Amino acid sequence: MLLVTPGRETAIDNIRKAVAEGRFNDAVEPFDPDISPQALKADILDYVSKLESASYKLKRFAARTIVDIWCRLWSDGINEIVGAERLPDGPAFITSNHFNPFDNGILRRLSKDSGHGRLVAVSQGKNFVMPGLNGFVLRNIDLIPIISEPSYMGGKFLSLMHSHLDAGRLILIYPEQQMWFNYRKPRPGKRGAYLFAARMGVPLVPAFVQMEEIPGKEIAPGFNDVKLILHVLDPIFPDRFLSERENSFRMCKLDYEAKVRCYEKCYGKPLNYDFTPWDIAGWTGG
């Protein structure tokens, strides 16, 4: 079961408008936090300064426990993983479509089951100031915040990524940037996400999450539950004869093409961006 938060009809309407205008990486959530860049920067720098503190480690344990319980109760007996054998043995970046605050639960299961240990995710800074239980989990479950601050991005951010890659972990990046609630279709990614893989010299593993509605299992008014099928696709390795910039364009293109092929195979139809109610998995109010 996926989290269905308030404001879904508004989010879906915003998705419809963004698709019509070709804005595939825009924010569509109606209740995103409103915070100034200066305040956000201060919050993020304070957050990363406490990552080794006992209080943070306790909160991280609590956040992991919440997600593990959520997955055991609602997801583990339903969701599937296909192609896990394609994962490299060592560290790698993994990309996926982003459609729910808890959509990385199945990716965390993949990371643990494959022997990579805990999954680490790169996340937008605003996720760290979300209110409520969702905000608590997002702040404390192995996330590396990303903000528009050159000194941080070239310093502590890269240091955190290096430490996790050195430990052999998977680092999840959402190239689509913004979450689009239960949106089935892969969206073009932003090239900046692929600079990390090109710079670090590690493989990038495309993943695509297929969503199949479970008819008659209503989890909120107007929404049926959905089953997730995680498809792990063939790794993409940086080309050592290309520059970082050239590699980032190449990897971005190959990653998107792999997701499109997977989408078309999973759903048995060619990809187009004409919006229909089917695009929102589980939505019965269209």
Q: Cα separation of 103 and 93, whole Å?
A: 17
Look at residue 77 in the predicted model and tell me its pLDDT: 56
Task: Extract the tokens encoding 141.
Answer: 């479950």
Asked if the model's pLDDT at residue 13 lies above 90, the reply is: yes
- Show the domain range for 141: 8-279
When divided into structural domains, the chain yields a total of 1
Asked if the model's pLDDT at residue 20 lies above 60, the reply is: yes
Count Cβ neighbours within 10 Å for each residue of 153-182 and write b for 16 or more, e otherwise.
eeebbeebbeebbeeebbbbbbbbbbbbbb
Q: Cα separation of 1 and 174, whole Å?
A: 21
Look at residue 40 in the predicted model and tell me its pLDDT: 83
- Average pLDDT, rounded, for the chain: 89
Does residue 64 lie within any of the structural domains? yes
Q: Look at residue 128 and give its three-state secondary structure.
A: helix
Q: Is 96 in contact with 262 (CB distance < 8 Å)?
A: no
17 pLDDT tier (thresholds 50, 70, 90): very high
Look at residue 76 in the predicted model and tell me its pLDDT: 53
Does residue 207 lie within any of the structural domains? yes
Write the CATH number for 185: 3.40.1130
Does residue 1 lie within any of the structural domains? no
- What's the pLDDT tens digit per position in 65-110? 887 777 666 655 578 999 999 999 999 999 999 998 878 888 988 9
- What's the pLDDT tens digit per position in 128-175? 777 777 778 877 888 888 888 888 888 888 999 999 999 999 999 999
Q: Tell which wins on pLDDT, 134 or 116.
A: 116
Look at residue 147 in the predicted model and tell me its pLDDT: 83
How far, rounded to the nearest angstrom, does the alpha carbon of residue 129 sit from its chain's CA centroid? Answer: 17
Amino acid letter, residue 140: N
Does residue 156 lie within any of the structural domains? yes
Does residue 151 lie within any of the structural domains? yes
Dihedral sign, CA of 271, 274, 280, 285?
negative
Percent of the chain with pLDDT over 90: 52
Asked if the model's pLDDT at residue 187 lies above 80, the reply is: yes
Does residue 165 lie within any of the structural domains? yes
Mean pLDDT of 12-39: 89
Q: Is 209 in contact with 103 (CB distance < 8 Å)?
A: yes
Give pTM, 2 decimals.
0.91
Look at residue 282 in the predicted model and tell me its pLDDT: 92
Does residue 3 lie within any of the structural domains? no
- What's the pLDDT tens digit per position in 252-283? 999 999 999 999 999 999 999 999 999 999 99
Does residue 29 lie within any of the structural domains? yes
